[in-house]
Amino acid sequence: MQTVQDTVANVYGAVRLPDSPADQAEFLGHRGHTFDVAVTSGRFGVGTELMQALPNLRAVVNFGVGYDTTDTRQATERGIAVSNTPDVLNDCVADTAVALYVDVLRRTSAADRYVRRGDWARHGNFPLATKASGKRVGILGLGRIGKVIARRLEGFDCTLSYHNRKKAPGVAYEYASSPVELARNADVLIVAAAGGPESVHVVDHEVIEALGPNGYLINIARGSVVDERALVAALLAGSLGGAGLDVFADEPKVPQDLLSMDNVVLLPHLGSGTKETRAAMAELTLANLAQFAADGTLVTPVS
C-alpha cells in the first residue's frame, strides 16, 4: 500500500485523511467537498458517514479484493464507481488457506512450539495429529479464490463440495443447499465467502455444531462471516476439533481465549501478503485510478 500512497500523493496531489475522529471531522468539514476520488483499502473502506462527508465523490478505488467496508448501497444510489483488485491475489490467498489447512490438521505450528520449548527432550514424541490428505472438504464460497483452493486440494485427494447462493456453472463438485448441510458432510470447512451485510455470521452456531468435535474450520474470507463468539465457545467446549484463522471480527484484536489453544492457528490477516502479489495489487489499483482520471471508467469495477 505504501507504493500506492506515495504515487497518489506525488502524481495526483492526494492528501491523507487524519487518523483521529476529531481531526477527521474538522478536515472533512473544511475540505470534504473538494474530493472526487477516494483511494482506500479493504481494511478501511469508505463507510456511510465518510461517504456522506464527501458530497462530490465520484469513485472509490480500493486496494484489495474485499470492499465490504465501503457503503456500496450509498455508492450505487449516488452513482459512485467502486473498484477492487480481483484475480491478482487468488493464488496467494489460496496458498494461505492450504497452509492453514495443513497446519491445523497436522499441528505443525504446535509441534514447532513443542520443540522450541524443549518438550521433545523432556516428554518424548509429539502427540499424533490428523491426516491432511483424503479429507472431505466443504468450501463456503466457490468464487475466484474458492475455485483455486479447490484445485489445490484436488492434489490432496480430497472430496470436495461447496455452497454458494446458487450453483456454480460448469463445476463438478457436489453442491450443498445450505452452509449447515455443507458442514454436516465435511471434515473441514473452508470459508472463502465475500464479506458484507449479506454474509454476516453465515457460519453460526448451527454450522459449527454440524462440523462437530472432529471437524475443522478455516477462514481466509472476512471475520464477519463467522460468529466468533460461537466459534470460541465451541473450541473451549471441545465441540470443534480446531480452527485456522487469518481474519477476525475486530481486527487487530483477537479473542484472548484463542491465544493459548494449540489446536488453533492464528495469522495476522496476511492472505495476500507476498511481495509479488502486493506489487500486482498496487499496479492494478493505480491502473484503476489512472483510467478513471483519464476517462471516468475503471479497469476492474465492482459489479
CA distance 297 to 167: 31
269 annotated active-site? yes
Please give the C-alpha separations between residue 255 and each of 150, 249, 297, in angstroms, as whole numbers.
29, 9, 42
CA distance 55 to 38: 12
Helix orientation angle between 2-12 and 275-295, rounded to the nearest 10 degrees: 30
43 annotated active-site? no
What values do phi and psi take at 236, rounded to 5?
Answer: -65, -35
Catalytic one of 26, 49, 251, 276: 251
Reference 193, options 154, 172, 162; nearest CA is: 162
Instruction: Match 492464528 to its residue by C-alpha cell.
Output: 266
CB 12 within 8 A of CB 36: no
Q: Quick one: cell of 167? A: 450453483
CA distance 282 to 87: 13
Catalytic one of 269, 276, 278, 283: 269
Reference 240, options 188, 185, 177; nearest CA is: 188
Catalytic one of 222, 228, 276, 283: 222
The DSSP secondary-structure symbol of 226 reads: B
Question: Taking CA 216 as the corner, what is the angle to CA 214 and CA 217, rounded to the nearest 5 degrees?
Answer: 150
Sequence letter at residue 269: H
251 annotated active-site? yes
The residues annotated with a catalytic role in the active site are 222, 251, 269
